[in-house]
Amino acid sequence: MRARTYLFAISLAGTLGLASVASAHDAFRPGAAQQVQLGKKVAAELRKQEHVLPSSDPRVQTLRRVARRILATIDEKDAIWEYSFDVIDSKEINAFALPGGATFFYTGLMDRLKTEDELAGVLGHELTHVRKQHWAYAYADSQKRNLGLSIVLMAARANQALSNLAGFTNDVVFELPFSRKHETEADDGGFDTMVAAGYNPQGLADTFDMLRKAIKDGTPPEFFSDHPDDKNRIKRIEGKIKLAGTNFPPQILIDYLGK
Ligand SMILES: [Zn+2]
C-alpha cells in the first residue's frame, strides 16, 4: 500500500549528503543508510503536515504492540532499519512503509480492521517492502529506464544519478510503483512473518477481501492503484494456508472495536 497524495515537494538537499557509495552490484540503488535517511526525513515532514494520533490512542498502541510481536521474530542482526509506527487521522484506507522502516497507517484502514491478525498481515506485507528494499530497486529501475543507456554507460553515470538523491522530493518516494513481483514477495513475506509471530494468515486474505468490498461500497482504497488483481492474491494466500496444512490459532479480535 502506498500513498499517492503527498505531492508537496521538499528538497532534501544537504540532508542526504551528495553522491554516496552504492552497492557494488547495482550502482543505481540507494544504499541502506540512504534509505533510512530518506525515510526519516519524509516521515518527519508527514508528522508535521498530517494529524498524527498521540501514543495514548488505543489504535497507536495496538499497532505498535502487533509490530513489536512481528519484529521480535525477524532475524536481522546486520540490518540498520529504523522502524517507527504511527497512525494518521484520515479516512483514507491506506498504509505504507517508507524506505528504511518508518511506517504509517491511516485511521480509515485501522478502523476497518477487525482482528490483530488482519493488522499483522498488512504490517508483515509493508515490513517486507522495507526489508527487501523494494523502493530502492524500483528507484534504480526507474533511473535506468529514464537514462536508456547501455550497461557500460550506466556504470559511468551511476554516481551522478545517485547524487540526484540529494534533490529528492517526497513524490519520488510515493510515486514509484512497486512491481507485481515485489507485491507478491511482500505478500509472501507478510504471510511468513505473521505465521512466525503466531498469527492466523487468514487475516491477510480477509484484509484483501475487505478492501475489495470497500471498492463496491464506493470507497476505493488508495492502495488499489498499486494492488491490482486482488482476487488472485486472495486465492494465492488461501492456497498457501491450505498447503501449510496447519491449524492456525483463532484470530484475535481487536479490543478497540466499538470506539
Ligand atoms: Zn505492497
pLDDT 10s digits, 196-249? 999 999 999 999 999 888 877 776 666 555 565 677 889 999 999 999 988 999
Q: What is the pLDDT of residues 108-161, one digit of tens each?
A: 999 999 999 999 999 999 999 999 999 999 988 887 777 665 554 555 555 554
Q: How far is the CA of 194 from the centre of ligand 1 (A)?
A: 15
Beta strand spans in 100-163 (E)? 102-106
Q: Is residue 24 part of a domain?
A: no
- Strands 102-106 and 95-97, bridge-based pairing: antiparallel
Number of structural domains, the chain?
Answer: 1
| Rounded distance from Cα 178 to ligand 1 centre (Å) | 7
Q: Is residue 171 domain-resident?
A: yes
Distance 156 CA to ligand 1 centre (A): 32
User: How far, in Å, from the CA of 153 to the mean position of ligand 1?
Assistant: 32
The residue type of 200 is N
Residue 25 lies in a domain: no
Within a domain: 126: yes
Inside any domain, residue 226: yes
27 domain-assigned: no
- The answer to the question of residue 148 being in a domain is yes
Measured in angstroms, how far is the CA atom of residue 150 from the centroid of ligand 1? 30
Centroid of ligand 1 to alpha carbon of 122 (angstroms): 9
Phi and psi at residue 123, to the nearest 5°: -60, -45
Report pTM. Answer: 0.82
What is the residue type of 252?
I
Looking at the DSSP assignment, which residues form a beta bridge with residue 87? 105
Q: Which domain holds residue 164?
A: 32-244
C-alpha 48/C-alpha 26 separation (Å) is 34
**Chain segment 27-60, per-residue pLDDT in tens:** 789 999 999 999 999 999 999 999 999 999 999 9
Give the distance (Å) from ligand 1 centre to CA of residue 136.
14
Q: Calculate how far, in angstroms, residue 118's C-alpha sits from the geometric centre of ligand 1.
A: 15
Output the CA 129–ligand 1 centroid distance in Å. Answer: 7
